[in-house]
């Protein structure tokens, strides 16, 4: 729970990174980051109001806290508005991301018709089809394969072994993690007279907005006629499956192992809990939060928190969970009633 | 919902592609394909009987319809037997697939003992072990890795970054999408006296029939002693997991994120809904349709539609869903009864 | 169900492989392995007590059995303590794994600062970042990508197209199957005032113990501050997702398609059934067995067998399953009671 920093920092230096106000000694030396529970006097940590009981036992050298809590800190404090957010910002500074150098690896294979910005970095084993456009600051790590006509926006980072099928478009500052497959033809088939499945050509694309994160081994299919759209700021965890023609609204967060059927529309600012499943053609309003393992077979048109399969308002689902665990007793009670009432 | 064609077509030309009969002007010019709802006079679309209400509002230039509906088309019609199937065929002609040129990339690494047909196309970064056989018209896109003794049948297409473990056999005209892993040793372990898991060598293979489609990042394990078999015409979506010794019958369709345990037998012409799970050793009859998120822990020996976890006949499951959402009210009713009956 | 051996063996030779005692003719010739149900006189098979009814019909030439059952074997027997375990050992000898030759492929790209043992085998298309350490006997098959500072312990085998992000550590004798992605930054985000998700840098690692097996397309995220830990002897099937900071205890077995949320702690010697989901921060005791498709939203602190969503003791869940399938009849019974009691 403790990580050493590559150099030591004073509390004042840390405060200036997060635009916070020091309470205590600015010259105190910090050489570690840690969770509150394991932090010692050389460590910086953070505390939100829900965690304040931990302030009584922590030995952290300096803690990012809101104004109301700084008195409770054992040693020093840095007052910030949003401690968790400030801590994230601090970590970005203390542990900066390393990007590979600009340039195209000798072991990459790129069609002549591609436009590659000279500040982009293309790793060994990458293969780019015809007419791809790779903007400034883009990183394609080793083994990424792009079909033809793919566009990758400024400062977007593909981790190793990502596949983008032809005509996929990625916005700026996206991250696509290893093993993701974007733009594969959607799963569309129609039966013929012999009861054989004939594939329906899928001629749409996948378009990702800006600041989208796609997890490892996640798959996103292209649209049948129109496009599959992942809007700005969407964060998508590992092993998520997104079917053809899906539209995901801006700043929605999709946890791991979620399956989203074809033509689903999810509004902005939703949170889709892990392993949830959403059936074809479902509409989900904005600001909907689904608990893990939810199953959505009907539209959710009212913002709120839902859970269960079939998905229900969360409080109802929580009570249902209790009931399901007691069905055995219910069976006895119904039987008793029947005997009583005979 | 509208896609431009690369050139313009007359209605008559389109009709000849689908062997349909023109009702209206054969020389009318079509430059787009579109869904009925967004089609304009320059677009071709299609209409099945379930969609016929849309005929009153669409402005499509020409519509593929069955005979009974051509009168309702706003402009021109092409009469066909199965409109959706004809539309799929039309799209295949209007948006033909491009296959890479035949030949072996300089950046592919192929053991001398392989037999590669000269009409096959093997992309950069492909690695083929000893004694692989690649038949005519096969495409292996960039970064595919084949173990030793793998056979790939005529006109089968592997998309980028597919892995076929040793001795896997693929039939003709299959498509295997990016990131799929076929032939990995099955998950077989046995405990020893120290309660450690010892792996049971898996010496079977995976065999795919003809016209099989395997989705992105899908995994299919090889058999323990006998083979894992995916029969002709099976279509399998993304992120499906198929355990060792499974047999999937011909023309069965498996939606995304389905997990199929070891030694499961699924009959022909089934449809397995997304995210369903099927336990080890289960048998499923032919013509079984499972709703999404079904959980199958007992054999399903009668054809029909099922849903739920545990899987039940679908109408029963639908009623159960209603009941589950009302358990809270049931609890109150039972309590009320108990008070009444005291 | 029958596989030919590459050469013939006598019963005595087979017995010496498994340190068993021959009952019958040691010179009997065996040329096949088979399941009991399909074994003929030239085949070796095994029988555990649960399978003993099959001894009356099998024609196997020699059977690995416990002492108590050798009389029931039709031809010859080899007496061993644990027949299934002995059979696994026998298969390892009869079908030995082939490892590629030591050495580094010309088509691998390895930073100068890496330490590669000369007995390791590194396949074509592998890319290793700075300061990786690859110990003796390691195999990296084609297309594996390792970030910087990765350590791979002695005799560990990476199958084709595995990604290990920077600083991942693998123990000895591990197997990581094709498409697995280990060490990706965990899915950690925090909202800012504009309701945009800001990523929280994930500075922990993933550490695998010894003798760990990781399935195809499985993903394991690195920790936020501390490490994600997969202990010795853990066996993990395909398409499993393991979130940041998870700790999996020694010799636990995780079946396919399981999703494990962040900061989950699973004890040693557990079995997690396929497609189960475990919510963030859950603790599971040692020796817990979860049935397939379980959903764990509360700690399980008592060893035992559980199932269902929400997870319950297995017998309770089995009865609940029966009840859920009968809710329709319950509704009628409650209604009847209400009418009776009015």
Separation between Cα atoms, residue C234 and residue C173, nearest integer Å = 12
Separation between Cα atoms, residue A120 and residue A141, nearest integer Å = 11
Q: What is the pTM of this model?
A: 0.96
Checking if the pLDDT of B342 tops 80, the result is: no
- Say whether both B112 and B54 belong to one domain: no
- Say whether both C177 and C278 belong to one domain: no
A297: chain B residues, CB-CB within 8 Å? 292, 321
Q: How many CB pairs under 8 A join A and B?
A: 177
Separation between Cα atoms, residue C230 and residue B221, nearest integer Å = 23
Q: What is the DSSP string of B184-241?
A: EPP--EEE-TTS-EEE------EEE-SS-EE-TT-EEEPPSSS-EEE-TT-EE-TT-E
Give domain status of residue B168, yes or no: yes
Separation between Cα atoms, residue C292 and residue C258, nearest integer Å = 9
Q: A235-244, B179-188, C166-175, C316-325: which has the minimum mean pLDDT?
A: C316-325
C-alpha distance from residue A76 to each of A5, A10, A46, A64 (Å): 19, 11, 11, 9
CB A281 within 8 A of CB A298: no
What six digits make up the tokens of B32? 């787009």
Checking if the pLDDT of C276 tops 70, the result is: yes
Separation between Cα atoms, residue A263 and residue B172, nearest integer Å = 31
Say what the pLDDT of residue A247 is.
98
Mean pLDDT of chain C: 95
Q: What are the two backbone dihedrals, phi and then psi, of residue A106, each rounded to the nearest 5 degrees?
A: -60, -25
C107: chain A residues, CB-CB within 8 Å? 107
Checking if the pLDDT of C342 tops 70, the result is: no
CB B153 within 8 A of CB B171: yes
What six digits make up the tokens of B230? 């995916």
- Say whether both B255 and B129 belong to one domain: yes
CA-angle at B300, arms to B251 and C271, nearest 5°: 100
Say what the pLDDT of residue B337 is.
87
Separation between Cα atoms, residue B150 and residue A94, nearest integer Å = 49
The H-assigned helical ranges of A65-215 are 83-94
Q: What is the mean pLDDT of residues B232-242?
A: 98
Distance from CA of C272 to the nearest CA of A (A): 15
- Say whether both C322 and C262 belong to one domain: yes
Q: What is the mean pLDDT of residues B242-257?
A: 98
The conformation of residue A315, written as its DSSP 8-state character, comes to H
Search chain B and give the residue with CA nearest C327. Answer: B320
Give the distance, in angstroms, between the CA of residue A219 and the centroid of all CA atoms in the same chain: 14
Give domain status of residue A299, yes or no: yes
Checking if the pLDDT of A341 tops 80, the result is: no
Strand-strand pairing, C109-110 and C127-128? parallel
Q: Which of B177, B196, B244, B269 is catalytic?
A: B244
The conformation of residue B262, written as its DSSP 8-state character, comes to T
Give domain status of residue B333, yes or no: no
Nearest to A127 among B143, B269, B330 (CB): B143
From the CB of residue A149, how many other CB atoms can be counted at a distance below 10 Å?
18
Distance from CA of C30 to the nearest CA of B (A): 16
- Say whether both C117 and C224 belong to one domain: yes
- Say whether both A47 and A154 belong to one domain: no
Alpha-carbon dihedral of residues C83, C88, C93, C99, nearest 10 degrees? -170
Say what the pLDDT of residue B330 is.
87
**Can C244 be counted among the known catalytic residues?**
yes
Plot region of A143 (φ>0 → left; ψ -120 to 50 → alpha; else → beta): left
Give the three-class secondary structure for A34: strand
Separation between Cα atoms, residue B309 and residue C321, nearest integer Å = 8
Please answer yes or no on whether C275 and B259 come within 8 Å at the CB atom.
yes
Please give the tally of structural domains in chain A.
2
- Say whether both B189 and B308 belong to one domain: yes
Say what the pLDDT of residue C201 is.
95
Give the three-class secondary structure for A118: coil
Q: What is the DSSP string of C40-105?
A: -TTEEEE--GGGGGGGGT---SEEEE-GGGGGG-SSEEEE-S-HHHHHHHHHHHHSPPP-PPSEE-
Give domain status of residue B327, yes or no: no
Say what the pLDDT of residue A9 is.
96
What six digits make up the tokens of B121? 């196309």
Give the three-class secondary structure for C22: strand
Separation between Cα atoms, residue B77 and residue B67, nearest integer Å = 9
What six digits make up the tokens of B248? 């999937």
C150: chain A residues, CB-CB within 8 Å? none
Residue C309 belongs to a domain with what CATH number?
2.160.10.10
Chains with 3 or more CB pairs closer than 8 angstroms to C? A, B
pLDDT of A263-284, one tens digit each? 999 999 999 999 999 999 999 9
CB B214 within 8 A of CB B208: yes
Mean pLDDT of chain B: 95
Checking if the pLDDT of C341 tops 80, the result is: no
C-alpha distance from residue A90 to each of A45, B39, C116, C191 (Å): 10, 52, 36, 15
CA-angle at B15, arms to A262 and B98, nearest 5°: 55
CA-angle at C168, arms to C165 and C174, nearest 5°: 115
Strand-strand pairing, A197-199 and C265-266? unpaired
pLDDT of B81-127, one tens digit each? 999 999 999 999 999 988 899 999 999 999 999 999 999 999 999 99
Give domain status of residue C247, yes or no: no
Give rounded-to-5 percent helix, strand, coil for chain B: 20, 30, 50
Separation between Cα atoms, residue B274 and residue C257, nearest integer Å = 13
Give rounded-to-5 percent helix, strand, coil for chain C: 20, 30, 50
A223: chain B residues, CB-CB within 8 Å? none
Q: Which of C28, C70, C76, C244 is catalytic?
A: C244
Separation between Cα atoms, residue A3 and residue C202, nearest integer Å = 11
CB A220 within 8 A of CB A179: no
Nearest to A181 among B84, B89, B217 (CB): B217
Q: A292-296, B273-277, C319-323: which has the minimum mean pLDDT?
A: C319-323
CB C216 within 8 A of CB B179: no
Distance from CA of C268 to the nearest CA of A (A): 21
pLDDT of B303-325, one tens digit each? 999 999 989 999 999 998 888 88
- Say whether both A18 and A157 belong to one domain: no
Q: What is the mean pLDDT of residues A91-119?
A: 95
Nearest to C217 among B179, B201, B334 (CB): B179
- Say whether both A301 and A155 belong to one domain: yes
User: Most B CBs within 10 Å: which of A158, A277, A293, as the mutation test of the B interface?
Assistant: A277
Q: What is the mean pLDDT of residues B166-180?
A: 98
Give domain status of residue B323, yes or no: no
ω into residue B310 within 30 of 0, thus cis?
A: yes
- Say whether both C265 and C320 belong to one domain: yes
pLDDT of A14-57, one tens digit each? 999 999 999 999 999 999 999 998 899 999 999 998 899 999 99
Please answer yes or no on whether B196 and C124 come within 8 Å at the CB atom.
no
* Buried b or exposed e, range A275-292, using 16+ CB within 10 angstroms: bbbbbbebbbbebbbbbb
Q: What is the DSSP string of C115-180?
A: EE-TT-EE-TT-EE-TT-EE-TT-EE-TT-EE-TT-EE-TT-EE-SS-EE-TT-EE-SS-EE-TT-
Cα–Cα nearest to A127, from C176, C122, B140, B103: B140
Plot region of C143 (φ>0 → left; ψ -120 to 50 → alpha; else → beta): left
C-alpha distance from residue C25 to each of C61, C77, C89, C241 (Å): 10, 9, 22, 50
C-alpha distance from residue C94 to each of C47, C149, C173 (Å): 18, 38, 20
- Say whether both B284 and B191 belong to one domain: yes
Please answer yes or no on whether A179 and B217 come within 8 Å at the CB atom.
yes
CB C151 within 8 A of CB C170: yes
Cα–Cα nearest to B163, from A140, A6, C299, A163: A163
Separation between Cα atoms, residue A117 and residue A53, nearest integer Å = 52
Plot region of A322 (φ>0 → left; ψ -120 to 50 → alpha; else → beta): alpha
Separation between Cα atoms, residue B252 and residue B191, nearest integer Å = 35
C190: chain A residues, CB-CB within 8 Å? 82, 84-85, 88
Q: What is the mean pLDDT of residues C177-195?
A: 96
Search chain B and give the residue with CA nearest C276. Answer: B277
pLDDT of B184-212, one tens digit each? 999 999 999 999 999 999 999 999 999 99
Nearest to A256 among C226, C243, C312 (CB): C243
Distance from CA of C292 to the nearest CA of A (A): 14
Residue B63 belongs to a domain with what CATH number?
3.40.1390.10
A321: chain C residues, CB-CB within 8 Å? 297, 310
Give domain status of residue A335, yes or no: no
ω into residue C5 within 30 of 0, thus cis?
A: no
Give the distance, in angstroms, between the CA of residue A293 and the centroid of all CA atoms in the same chain: 17
What six digits make up the tokens of A211? 């600041």
Give domain status of residue A331, yes or no: no
From the CB of residue A315, how many other CB atoms can be counted at a distance below 10 Å?
12
Separation between Cα atoms, residue C177 and residue B181, nearest integer Å = 9
- Say whether both B24 and B44 belong to one domain: yes
Q: Provide the domain limits for residue A21.
A: 2-94
Say what the pLDDT of residue C327 is.
87
Which residues share a beta bridge with B242?
Answer: B220, B260
Separation between Cα atoms, residue C78 and residue C28, nearest integer Å = 12
From the CB of residue A105, how many other CB atoms can be counted at a distance below 10 Å?
18
Distance from CA of C179 to the nearest CA of B (A): 7
């Amino acid at each position: 729970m403790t990580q050493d920093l590559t150099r030591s920092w004073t509390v004042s230096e840390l405060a200036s990174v997060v635009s916070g106000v020091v309470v205590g000694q600015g010259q105190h030396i910090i050489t570690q980051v840690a969770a509150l529970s394991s932090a010692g006097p050389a460590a910086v940590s953070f505390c939100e109001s829900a965690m304040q009981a931990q302030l009584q036992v922590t030995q952290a050298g300096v803690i990012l806290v809101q104004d109301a809590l700084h008195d409770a800190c054992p040693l020093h404090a840095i007052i910030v508005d949003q401690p968790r957010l400030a801590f994230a910002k601090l970590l970005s500074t203390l542990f900066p991301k390393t990007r590979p150098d600009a340039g195209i690896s000798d072991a990459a294979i790129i069609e002549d018709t591609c436009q590659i910005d000279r500040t982009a970095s293309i790793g060994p084993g990458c293969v780019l089809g015809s007419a791809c456009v790779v903007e400034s600051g883009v990183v394609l790590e080793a083994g990424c394969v792009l079909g033809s006509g793919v566009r990758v926006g400024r400062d977007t980072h593909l981790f190793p072994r990502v596949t983008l099928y032809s005509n996929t478009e990625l916005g700026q500052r996206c991250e696509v993690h290893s093993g993701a497959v974007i733009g594969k033809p959607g799963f569309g088939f129609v039966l013929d007279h012999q009861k054989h499945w004939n594939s329906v050509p899928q001629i749409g694309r996948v378009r990702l907005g800006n600041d989208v994160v796609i997890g490892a081994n996640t798959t996103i299919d292209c649209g049948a006629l129109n496009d599959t759209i992942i809007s700005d700021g969407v964060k998508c965890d590992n092993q998520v499956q997104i079917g053809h023609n899906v539209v995901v609204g801006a700043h929605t967060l999709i946890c791991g192992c979620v399956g989203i059927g074809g033509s689903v529309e999810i509004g902005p600012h939703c949170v889709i809990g892990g392993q949830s499943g959403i059936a074809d053609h479902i509409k989900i309003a904005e600001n909907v939060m689904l608990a893990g393992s939810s199953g959505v077979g009907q539209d959710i048109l009212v913002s709120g928190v839902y859970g269960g399969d079939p998905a229900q308002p969360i409080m109802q689902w929580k009570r249902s969970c209790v009931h399901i665990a007691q069905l055995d007793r219910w069976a006895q009670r119904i039987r008793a009633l029947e005997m009583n009432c005979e």
